[in-house]
Amino acid sequence: MAAEIESYSFGRIVVGGQEHTTDLLLLPERVVGGWWREEGHSLSVADLAEALAAKPETLVVGTGANGRMDVPRATRDAIEAAGIRLVVETTAAACQTYNRLRTSARVAAALHLTC
């Protein structure tokens, strides 16, 4: 089962007992800390290579505390074309959605912790 998000606040998240202070990917079998995007506040398909390779049913994207990370139409279309349901929310809401889904579905999350 995917790791549980125990807490989130601006710039800090605790997952499975481990504190992270950088953006991260939560994959069904592991946590990838230090996740970075090619263009910072714009999410590209290339940024999600590891998440897409994990073949989740649902990908939850946390766009930051204030929702500043953009998920362009091309990225959304590529995720949909891969047969993956996409949920895009502020990171606080994304953490709640991920936790709700993690016990009943194969879910991954891409979480921006600041902005």
pLDDT in tens, 12-64: 999 999 999 999 999 999 999 999 898 879 999 999 999 999 999 999 999 99
Instruction: List the chain domain ranges.
Output: 5-111
If you average pLDDT over residues 57-80, what whole number do you get? 97
Looking at CATH, the fold of the domain delimited by 5-111 is given as Hypothetical Protein Mth938; Chain: A, (3.40.1230)
How many whole angstroms separate alpha carbon 59 and alpha carbon 57?
A: 7
In this prediction the pTM is: 0.96
How many whole angstroms separate alpha carbon 36 and alpha carbon 20?
A: 13
